[in-house]
């Protein structure tokens, strides 16, 4: 779908590694070890953001890529706080490039929708950054389908195209199937979904008393609180056991299998925690197992809500 490559022409890998934990739950040693584990498995695509761990994520990722910058694809995000104004974007990019010690960022996401700043200001600024060679590709994160299309129309005025987007998508968060994934396939927008493990719910660890963001972050606790989600996680663990693999492997492989998905974002706190997600690179789900997994959660209604046409 996409022709986004690294500076030396290396293509996107079918998984992206997200460095949200770098400098937070993963110290420098753990961060470098996970980066090396990803590279050993052929991962070429790495994701960070201006706001992650107060800049430590970008700084550590920059240290990881220093010796092979042209071989990897680096994405960061701006405009999570303060809006998507020209000043915020430019200031954020200055910080991000300084932290990562790079001249050019391969992919820059607008981290979330800003309904206050005119889209013309946002995309004129992004067009200027691309023309200057500071960024290579423009992307958006956490946008609804209508927001993407509205932004795309404005971007076209500046000879710009949204080439990638980052929605939430997993077995227990399937809203993207309604409009985002069909829109992206129609518009040739690469989709790099985050949280394919449902905040760790689909690893099965919480059912056995494990800890993580669902136990430490109220937002994630609410996001993945419904009982049916926990029941689906338990059922996925049973299917994974029957298939002889970890639940996380099966969950990531399921998200990868959708034809509209380019590269799910995996993340972890350690190489041990990362291994089951990386193992999805070696898994191809057949139609029967894919359907059995999908049947564990409700298929969202079509955008028109005409159930008789589903």
Q: Catalytic site residues?
A: 52
Q: What is the phi/psi pair of residue 30, to 5°?
A: -65, -40
Query: Considering Cα of 279, then 280, then 283, then 285, what sign does the dihedral take?
Result: positive
| Non-local CB neighbours of 268 within 8 Å, separated by 6+ positions | 21, 26, 34, 274, 277
| Non-local CB neighbours of 13 within 8 Å, separated by 6+ positions | 42, 43, 44, 45, 263
Beta-ladder partners of 194: 168
Cβ atoms of 4 and 106 within 8 Å: the answer is: yes
Distances (CA, A) of 89 to 59, 77, 158: 18, 9, 17
Element at 202 (helix H, strand E): none
Cβ atoms of 41 and 83 within 8 Å: the answer is: no
């Amino acid at each position: 779908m996409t022709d986004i490559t690294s500076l030396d022409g290396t293509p996107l890998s079918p998984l992206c590694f997200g460095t949200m934990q770098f400098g937070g739950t993963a110290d420098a040693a753990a961060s470098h070890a996970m980066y090396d584990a990803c590279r050993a498995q052929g991962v070429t695509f790495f994701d960070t953001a201006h706001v992650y761990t107060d800049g430590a994520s970008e700084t550590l990722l920059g240290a990881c890529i220093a010796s092979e910058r042209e071989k990897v694809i680096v994405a960061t995000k701006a405009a999570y706080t303060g809006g998507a104004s020209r000043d915020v974007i430019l200031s954020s990019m200055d910080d991000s490039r300084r932290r990562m010690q790079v001249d050019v960022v391969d992919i820059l996401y607008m981290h979330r929708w800003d309904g206050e700043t005119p889209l013309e200001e946002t995309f004129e600024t992004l067009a200027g950054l691309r023309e200057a060679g500071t960024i290579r590709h423009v992307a958006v994160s956490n946008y609804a389908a209508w927001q993407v299309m509205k932004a795309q129309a404005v971007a076209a005025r500046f000879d710009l195209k949204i080439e990638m987007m980052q929605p939430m998508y997993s077995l227990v968060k399937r809203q993207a199937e309604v409009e985002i994934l069909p829109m992206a396939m129609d518009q040739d927008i690469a989709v790099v979904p985050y949280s394919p493990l449902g905040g760790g719910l689909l690893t099965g660890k919480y059912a056995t008393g494990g800890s993580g963001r669902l136990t430490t972050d109220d937002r994630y606790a609410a996001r993945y609180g419904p009982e049916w989600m926990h029941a689906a996680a338990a059922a996925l663990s049973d299917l994974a056991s029957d298939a002889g693999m970890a639940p996380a492997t099966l969950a990531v492989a399921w998200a990868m299998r959708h034809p509209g998905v380019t590269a799910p974002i995996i993340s972890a706190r350690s190489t041990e925690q990362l291994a089951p997600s990386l193992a999805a690179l070696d898994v191809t789900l057949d139609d029967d197992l894919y359907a059995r997994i999908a049947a564990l959660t409700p298929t969202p209604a079509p955008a028109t809500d005409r159930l008789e046409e589903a």
